[in-house]
Amino acid sequence: MHVKEIFDLKGKTVIITGGSVGLGAQMAVAVAEAGANVVIAARKVDRCTDMCAKIEKDCGTRAIAVACDASKEEDCQKLIDVTMEEFGKIDVLVNNAGIAWVADSMNFPMDKWQKVLALNLNGTFQLSMMAGRVMKNQGYGKIVNTASIGALGGDLPENANSVAYTASKGAVVSMTKDLAVKWARYGITVNAIAPGWFPTSMNDKLLEQMAPQIMPRIPLARYGGENDLKGVIVFLASAASNYMTGQLVVVDGGQTSMV
């Protein structure tokens, strides 16, 4: 295959949870620019609808919006069902929906702990399982999970004080590796992306304030930008990564390479 064909997603169907804003929106635009039809799912469906309109206008591919709280089993099943009704297949699932809760680790509220893990870990698993059954019947498929560099080690509470988030993302990394081994026989690859610090509408003001603490720890001396996940997600969603499974791709400006 020509290298342009290897990265081509024309005619593919990609589900992206949490795809209406932030990193999910960046990845949704990327796969659409590569030719994929996109199913964007999030709790606030109006945001999904707006993103779908933008994608169809700018990229010329189909995009549909589905209301989905990935922590709820019935919502996940509806997402799978709607995708199959509209497109008849699931080529790629991107588990990107996630939340964090900031609190002192000595007094972390357990209801918030459960809420974070219910979406970040449980939701990622149950949606992977549902999509995995479809992919098994197809004989192929790709699952990409959004982890975090927070999964790779601890940090000072002044820099990052959300132990439930880091614990959930660490579990996502381990789960990615285990499912990759278990599902390889079905033609399914499972990989993960670990982004570093990326400003979004939810954290941009905080990251601006924390820049003096964070920036010296990033060799490239900047936060992640609006195009910095595009190539990675297209690579993992396309035939370019066919011989790659169970891997974690770190996109952090070199932060985790420092000692």
Calculated CA dihedral for residues 223, 175, 154, 226, nearest 10 degrees: 10
From 140, 165, 186, 243, active-site residue: 165
Active site includes 186? no
> What is the distance between the alpha carbons of residues 202 and 165, in angstroms, rounded to a whole number?
15
* C-alpha distances out from residue 250 to 43, 48, 231, Å: 27, 27, 13
Provide the angle, in degrees to the nearest 10, between the axes of the packed helices 110-117 and 163-183: 30
Q: What is the dihedral of CA 39, 41, 46, 49, to 10 degrees?
A: -10
Buried b (16+ CB within 10 A) or exposed e, 139-173: eebbbbbbbbbbbbeeeeeeebbbbbbbbbbbbbb
Handedness of CA 185, 147, 193, 152 (dihedral sign): negative
Residues designated as active site: 165
